[in-house]
Amino acid sequence: MKLTDNALTVLEKRYFRKDERGKTIEDWKKMITRVAVNISNGNKEKEKTYYNLLDSGNFLPNSPTLMNAGNDLQQLSACFVLPLEDSMESIFESIKNAALIHKSGGGTGFSFSRLRQADARVRSTNGVSSGPISFLKVFNSATDAVKQGGTRRGANMAILTVEHPQIMEFITCKENTQELTNFNLSVGITEKFMNAVYEDSEYELIAPHTKEVVKKLKARDVFDLIVKMAHQNGEPGIIFLDRINKYNPTPHIGKIESTNPCGEQPLLPNEACNLGSLNLAGMIKNNKIDWETLKKATRDAVDFLDSVIDMSKFPLPEIDKMVKSNRKIGLGVMGWADLLFLLKIPYNSDKAVKLAEEVMEFVDYHSKVRSIELAVEKGAFTNFKGSIYETKKLIREDLKMDWKDLMNTMAEKGIRNATTTTIAPTGTISMICNTSGGVEPQFSLVYVKNVMDGDELLYVNPHFEKAIKEAGIYSKKLMEEVAKKGSVAHIKNIPEEIKKVFVTSHDISPKWHIRMQGAFQKYVDNAVSKTINFTNKATKEEIQMAYELAYESGCKGVTVYRDGSRENQVLTVGKEVKETKANGHRVAPRERPLITTGMTQKIETGCGHLYITINSDKKGACEIFTQMGKVGGCASAQLEAIARLTSLLLRSNVKVSSIARQLKGIRCPSPMWNNGEIVTSCADSIAKSLEVFLELEKDSQENIKKINKKALKKPKRRSTHAMRICPDCGSTVEHSEGCLKCNSCGWSKC
């Protein structure tokens, strides 16, 4: 496979093996050879098949498989769900097990629905329960302490059923987005609740430990609160639990109550799933889909993912047993938006929705044909007896494939894997393949990448670039305009046919986003990872309609994101410093002397090495300078701003301790350990440095008058797209596939 410079950057940073000194010792061919040799487990024919499959660029497995296959860790799964029962023993056992999974590079999902509500009586201690929200915070803090796979913190999903007595508190518990930063939240929605919403009637809240009705709420009030919070900051999402369990392949084993962190993989407690994605953009030949190539890639990918189960070292024996009993795999797709570009089909069209059904039905059907063949060769999954396959309950609507005949064959011969299809986020693997992520539309056609020394490079979608050049209108100035506006919809001199085909996330109405998700969901065993993007001006009513349409379209869950909703939150309260007055006039900060003396500290932060210098004059601390270990990006600019303002405050006689108190504890996406102490952000590191200064230098400044609270003004928006910056490279990140990700360096929040 031909790799782009961007793909090589991602591979070298996150996938290629390194020696003990951190030097890269792999390239692309060595990496896929390592993976193919390991997964084939000595079978030379399979080794060749797997190598060719990976090198073709038509398929890649989830990141843990690429990273860990053939290494000591050998943990190859990305997603897990852990049990959480209503006892202190179960709660803290799950915290311990989650830490082990995060350490191995996996993400975890939990249902908090079995935990009794706060203040409910606990007979064993004659006390009262803390409730699920309190324990959710404990799980979040535990995740902070474990760095995932040596590279990032663990991602979690928390689900609470809408029937839980504390559901209203759960819905609003991330109103402050600086809290519960290691969790995605979703409300588990039931059919009974949705019926009550449509009927504008009440529904019952049920105590988990007694099964007694403790209260009734108007369903529409609860639904409205979910909509309000989703409009405000994108959380919580919603999961349709009854619909998920309607398609649960092993209902006799248990009820599905939770999903993995991005919501696309519903799992039983102690289950994991091995995921991989086909690159649909690579299946186009002569302006048509090459169905034979897609069929072969599907069959080979099923073989590969089934082999991954046998080769994976799972972090817990209970997970090993459950995974090998059900053998769930999740084959999905990426490159959907690029495929539509190549075929000149608008994403927001009936033709695209119909093609989505046709493509996913084809993949789903042939994945099951191959899984049945594997069952004949190696045996069906252990829990096949009693499954919906054996009882023929999983009947698909016929389009082109003979599902009725296939279900009869399954019932007679069995199937190797309890599920075969999932559409997962493809963040970095789609970057490696230089294609669009999952089934999302392109977020932008042109984006800016920040590189060393403050330079900026334009990255243009290759299919868009080709179309613009063929139209004879390509120019750097035009590309810069596209990057600035985020789309071509309102740019003059671009032909209407190009505008119609090359639509981006915010050009597409929520209706088409959801119709597309529903089309793929129709032929996916598990669920579809997708973000329904709204413009900043979207109303709560529009989000409500989107939720209702998702329910009516057969989706198993939905995640919405209103552009800029999180960035515009006023999360902290500032302080207005009243200056000392003389004769009714304000006194300016004291001037900096020509010579100062001070101390410099080196602190490890999530953005890199930070050097903090605090200088003093004869009146005490008077200025701060900061220097990042790696230059450029938003982090350095923000640090300079903090340092300048802090210096101004110091020379305005504000106490060092007061400044430290305001900066301390501010959180960013990349906390870091420094000398046994957690540094939650670069601002927090400055606070810690100020505290060290106070220990070394007596604070001789006079007390100042009362500090008044003053809300921070909202920043002006520079464009219709809110800007959020990657903590690793300083480039703009996007919100898609249920998560934040950076297209420049491969950083992902999940």
Active site positions, annotated: 260, 262, 264
3-class secondary structure per residue, 225-278: HHHHHHHHHCCCEEEEHHHHHHCCCCCCCCCCCEECCCCCCEECCCEEEEEEEE
- From CA 312, how far away is CA 304, in angstroms rounded? 12
DSSP per-residue codes, 399-436: SSS-HHHHHHHHHHH--S-S--B-B---HHHHHHTTS-
- DSSP label of 697: S
- Give the burial class of 639: count Cβ atoms within 10 A of its Cβ; 0-12 exposed, 13-18 middle, 19 or more buried: buried
- From CA 47, how far away is CA 39, in angstroms rounded? 8
For 141, residues 6+ apart whose C-beta sits below 8 A from its C-beta are none
List, in sequence order, every residue forming a beta bridge with 238; answer none if it has no partner: 187, 558
Report the candidate in 404, 455, 461, 407 with the shortest Cα–Cα distance to residue 430: 461
Check whether the bond before 236 is cis (ω within 30° of 0). Answer: yes
- From CA 146, how far away is CA 182, in angstroms rounded? 11
- From CA 553, how far away is CA 522, in angstroms rounded? 9
Question: Given phi > 0 = left and psi -120 to 50 = alpha, else beta, which region is 486?
Answer: left
Q: Tell how far CA 103 is from the center of its chain.
A: 18
- From CA 439, how far away is CA 427, in angstroms rounded? 12
Residue whose entry in the numeric block shows the structure tokens 């033709």 = 351
Backbone angles phi, psi at 214, to 5 degrees: -105, -15
Strand 531-534 vs strand 456-460: parallel, antiparallel, or unpaired?
unpaired
DSSP per-residue codes, 646-680: HHHHHTTT--HHHHHHHHTT---S--EEETTEEE-
Angle between helices 462-470 and 336-343 (to 10 degrees): 20
Backbone angles phi, psi at 468, to 5 degrees: -70, -40
Angle between helices 350-378 and 336-343 (to 10 degrees): 130
- From CA 338, how far away is CA 135, in angstroms rounded? 43
Q: Alpha-carbon torsion 116, 118, 119, 124, what sign?
A: positive
DSSP per-residue codes, 588-638: PPPPPPS--EEEEEEEEETTEEEEEEEEEETTEEEEEEEEESS--HHHHHH
